[in-house]
């Protein structure tokens, strides 16, 4: 009916081993996610890229003033936003909030969403200004977002960069991109 005591003991051992394996597997997955997940990047306002790029026809350089000439594209500051938002634009609560924050002197300090490791040498000038790469090559569909994404839309790692360099016929020399 239930087999011998030795048979049942073997079954219990198998169940215990498979259950332990399951716990270890789940723990490994959780640890991997926690270690590799990037923290969320909060922004001062729910910036609508699509509204600015598609509907208003602004190019990236309007707000990211160093995108073709600098190492970093630059992030808009309160002075940049005030050019258009001295008065409320549109009827959304967020548009009104932006105008109010600017009127109160809030600096609207945006935070970088895309980051590279410190040992990587990258300039927007070289990639956007000289090579004339489109922003979406590295930033994905950021221009289509209606609120700031919490994390980068594209994982920019060495494989990502190397694939692009191969496609574009650019150098694969380590010293070209690493300090």
Domain boundaries, the chain: 1-33, 49-75+110-177
In sign, the C-alpha dihedral spanning 144, 148, 149, 154 is positive
pLDDT at 69 over 50: yes
Structure tokens at 122: 């990258």
Contact 20, 121 (CB under 8 A): no
The owner of tokens 């090559």 is: 137
Q: Tell me the helices (H) and strands (E) count for the chain, helix number first.
A: 9, 0
Question: Which burial class, exposed, middle or buried, applies to 28 when counting CB atoms under 10 A from its CB (0-12, 13-18, 19+)?
Answer: exposed
Above pLDDT 70, what percent of the chain? 79
pLDDT at 35 over 50: no
Question: Which burial class, exposed, middle or buried, applies to 94 when counting CB atoms under 10 A from its CB (0-12, 13-18, 19+)?
Answer: middle
pLDDT in tens, 74-126: 999 999 999 999 998 888 899 999 999 999 999 999 999 999 999 999 999 99
pTM: 0.74
């Amino acid at each position: 009916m239930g087999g011998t005591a030795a048979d049942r003991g073997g079954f219990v051992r198998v169940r215990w081993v498979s259950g332990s394996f399951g716990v270890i597997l789940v723990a490994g997955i959780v640890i991997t996610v926690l270690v590799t997940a990037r923290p969320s990047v909060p922004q001062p306002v729910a910036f609508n890229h699509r509204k600015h790029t598609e509907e208003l026809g602004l190019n990236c350089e309007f707000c990211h003033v160093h995108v073709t000439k600098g190492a970093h594209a630059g992030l808009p500051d309160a002075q940049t936003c005030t050019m258009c938002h001295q008065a409320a634009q549109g009827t959304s609560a967020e548009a009104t909030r932006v105008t109010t924050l600017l009127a109160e002197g809030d600096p609207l300090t945006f935070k970088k969403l895309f980051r590279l490791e410190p040992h990587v040498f990258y300039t927007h000038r070289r990639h956007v200004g000289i090579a004339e790469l489109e922003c979406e090559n590295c930033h994905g569909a950021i221009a289509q977002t209606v609120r700031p994404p919490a994390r980068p839309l594209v994982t920019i790692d060495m494989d990502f960069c190397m694939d692009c360099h191969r496609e574009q016929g650019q150098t694969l020399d380590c010293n070209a991109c690493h300090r």
